Amino acid sequence: MRITVMGTGYVGLVTGTCLADLGNDVQCFDIDQEKINRIEKGDIPIYEPGLNALIERNVKTGRLSFSSDMKSSVAYGDIIFIAVGTPSMEDGSADTRQVLQAAKSIGSLMTNFKVVVNKSTVPIGMADIVKETIDTELNIRFKSDESARPGFSVISNPEFLKEGSAVDDFMRPDRIVLGIESNESGNIARDMMRKLYAPFNRNHERTFVMNVRSAEFTKYAANAMLATRISFMNELANLAERVGADIDSVRQGIGSDPRIGYSFLYSGTGYGGSCFPKDVQALQYTANSNGIPLKILAAVESVNQRQKYVIAEKISAYFDNNLEGLTFAIWGLAFKPNTDDMREAPSRVLIKELLSRGARVIAHDPVALEAAKAAFQEDFKDHPEFSGQLTFSENAMEILDGADAMILLTEWKEYKSPNFSQIKSLLKQALIFDGRNLYEPQVMQEQGFTYEGIGRRASPVKLHTTSLINGTAQQLV
């Protein structure tokens, strides 16, 4: 099949490349000619394991091409995926201007039947607006000759790709959600999409067909649920520290229940990236606009923002609220491993907090250093003095030399089994703040480290809670 993908960002590049690898002819469009030139030279703008090799292979076979010519790109595909960015606005709503511009271009240039697929994460009801936009353009073009007007169908096909494993997620999907209208053009679209996704349904049916708004809602609901699990565990982790429980043992205890499962139950410094923060806010915006505020999601977002400061508070408490002149070595800057994505990364909150208190930071990340430099340059626009307090290094061990403490913020594989004897010899004191619970508290204590995780302690603490005994509140110690 012939496919056009509008947008060469994270979703667009992965979608287009993977569809080409399945044997389709795919053209990826972007208005940025410089970006297209970079991609054609092999300079891929995002880091995603396996993607570079996949692009190179499919470009060589001729199944994958890139263009900044809108007219030829609209003409190219029988199916056109809109996979452009929908960042958050200040009020939490999704910025859909790029989606609408793509729709307008399709309507002004299409000459034959098209299936227009909303792959971008868009507000509920956006497919109707895209349809109206295309209709308006076609009405202008074919006002005098209605019979020549081409047909089209706008459908919703949300993506469920995790950064760091997006290629595998696309090639081995848990489910394929299609939101399609029940009419003649919708029936054509359904048949075309089933043909496109047939390779994924050979063992068992993975495709769920529903109405368009249900499909749009499904994307938001999925991310909101996952974000809720993370914030829920982070709140429990903070309580676990106070009462002497180990949150990882709790995770295993509840995760073994098949009704709960283990996924997204890891406590840490809060979620980041482009999806969870944006989608939680957008769903809340939709809910508030419809007079149905989602109180649980409001709490999820509040807990997540609060969690990003937990490590800073632990550090401040350890050093008696005086960080002036101290140096901290940070391992991991990206919001999660196997990506260079710095959007909403907890490292940005922590580093800014440390610098504002007079500390110096030296940071390492296996992949995200360049993205981090750009992110902090933006963050420090109003605080140019911070720039001299933050440096980056490509050597993880080097940055520990003479540092007052090590802070781990991203659970990269190369951080999982380091030489702790060497770490201990390099640090001024054997002190580790682990924002991802990558290490075992008891093991760290046995090796002579002072260790602070999230919801984990090497030894029990005195309880500060109350119990109702014979009708009287008694202090437990």
Which residue among 307, 337, 369 closes a domain? 307
CA 161, CA 239: separation in Å to the nearest integer?
32
| Residues 24 and 105 both lie in one domain | yes
The total number of structural domains that make up the chain: 3
Quick one: average pLDDT of 396-407?
Answer: 98
Buried b (16+ CB within 10 A) or exposed e, 187-225: ebbbebbeebbeebeeeeeebebeebeebbbbbbebbbe
Residue 470 banded pLDDT, cuts 50, 70, 90: very low
DSSP string, 239-296: HHHHHT--HHHHHHHHHTSTTT-STT---SS---SSSHHHHHHHHHHHHHHTT---HH
The active-site residue out of 233, 275, 330, 354 is 275
| Residues 364 and 385 both lie in one domain | yes
The tens digit of pLDDT for each residue in 38-47 reads 999 999 999 9
Write out the two tokens for 106.
Answer: 């399709």
Radius of gyration of the chain from its Cα atoms, rounded to whole angstroms:
25
| Residues 369 and 413 both lie in one domain | yes
| Residues 141 and 16 both lie in one domain | yes
The tens digit of pLDDT for each residue in 69-88 reads 999 999 999 999 999 999 99
Residue 468 has pLDDT above 50, yes or no: no
pTM of the model: 0.90
Residue 465 has pLDDT above 90, yes or no: no
Quick one: average pLDDT of 15-28?
Answer: 98
| Residues 143 and 224 both lie in one domain | no
Quick one: average pLDDT of 458-476?
Answer: 47
| Residues 415 and 451 both lie in one domain | yes
Residue 370 has pLDDT above 70, yes or no: yes
The tens digit of pLDDT for each residue in 201-260 reads 988 899 999 999 999 999 999 999 999 999 999 999 999 999 999 999 999 999 999 999
For residue 454, give the CATH number of its domain.
3.40.50.720
The tens digit of pLDDT for each residue in 295-311 reads 999 999 999 999 999 99
Least confident of 212-216, 285-289, 399-403, 472-476: 472-476
For residue 260, give the CATH number of its domain.
1.10.1040.10
Which residue among 243, 272, 307 closes a domain? 307
Residues 6+ apart with CB under 8 A from 185: 113, 151, 152, 153
Give the structural domain span for 141. Answer: 2-210
Q: What is the pLDDT of residue 460?
A: 52
| Residues 404 and 464 both lie in one domain | yes
CA 326, CA 253: separation in Å to the nearest integer?
39
Strands 360-364 and 327-331, sheet pairing: parallel
| Residues 284 and 337 both lie in one domain | no
| Residues 281 and 427 both lie in one domain | no
Least confident of 242-246, 349-353, 463-467: 463-467
CA 403, CA 323: separation in Å to the nearest integer?
12
| Residues 55 and 203 both lie in one domain | yes
Residue 462 banded pLDDT, cuts 50, 70, 90: low
Burial of 453 (0-12, 13-18, 19+ CB in 10 A): buried
| Residues 166 and 297 both lie in one domain | no
The tens digit of pLDDT for each residue in 95-108 reads 999 999 999 999 99
Question: Looking at 376-427, which runs of residues are DSSP E strands?
Answer: 390-392, 405-408
Residue 131 has pLDDT above 70, yes or no: yes
Residue 364 banded pLDDT, cuts 50, 70, 90: very high
DSSP state letter for 230 = H
CA 59, CA 53: separation in Å to the nearest integer?
10
Strands 465-469 and 472-476, sheet pairing: antiparallel
With beta carbons less than 8 A apart as the criterion, state whether 28 and 18 touch: no
CA 148, CA 111: separation in Å to the nearest integer?
9
Catalytic, 18? Answer: no
In degrees, to the nearest 5, what angle opens at C-alpha 64 toward C-alphas 60 and 70?
A: 135
In degrees, to the nearest 5, what angle opens at C-alpha 41 toward C-alphas 367 and 57?
A: 85
Residue 467 has pLDDT above 50, yes or no: no
CA 30, CA 11: separation in Å to the nearest integer?
13
The tens digit of pLDDT for each residue in 173-204 reads 999 999 999 999 999 999 999 999 999 998 88
Residue 366 has pLDDT above 90, yes or no: yes
Residue 469 has pLDDT above 70, yes or no: no
Distances (CA, A) of 476 to 47, 184, 457: 51, 70, 19
Residue 466 has pLDDT above 60, yes or no: no
